[in-house]
């Protein structure tokens, strides 16, 4: 169980850091205004648009990746253990 927790924490930290960096670059208009969740600029080039797509992907990867390692995999392992005991 500890290895699943460490993997989930690693996924959340790395993807969260990537999301924070891209959010700081593209959606922080100023320190006095909304930080990390402000409106993105409207006239971006191709790389800026790719960065905004990567920002959204990193956000969902952090949440879903952590839930997979913290909830889904332990539940599957527990289910396999319960069914193996029923078969014996």
Under the banding of pLDDT at 50, 70 and 90, the label for residue 87 is low
Does residue 84 carry a pLDDT above 90?
no
Does residue 65 carry a pLDDT above 80?
yes
Threshold 0.85, pTM exceeds: no
| pLDDT (0 to 100) of residue 28 | 86
Which residues, in sequence order, are CB contacts of 70 under 8 Å at separation 6+?
A: 4, 5, 8
Structural domain span for residue 69: 2-87
Cα distances from 55 to residues 15, 18, 47, 49, 65, in angstroms, run 9, 7, 12, 10, 15
Q: Using one digit for the tens of pLDDT, what is the confidence trace for 18-58?
A: 999 999 999 888 888 778 888 888 899 999 999 999 999 99
Q: How many domains does the chain have?
A: 1
């Amino acid at each position: 169980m500890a290895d699943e927790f460490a993997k989930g924490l690693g996924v959340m930290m790395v993807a969260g850091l990537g999301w924070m960096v891209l959010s700081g670059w593209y959606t922080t208009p100023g320190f006095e205004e909304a930080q990390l969740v402000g409106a993105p600029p409207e006239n971006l080039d191709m790389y800026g648009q790719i960065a905004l797509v990567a920002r959204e992907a990193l956000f969902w990867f952090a949440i879903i990746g952590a839930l997979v390692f913290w909830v889904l995999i332990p539940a599957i392992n527990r289910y396999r253990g319960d069914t193996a005991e029923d078969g014996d």
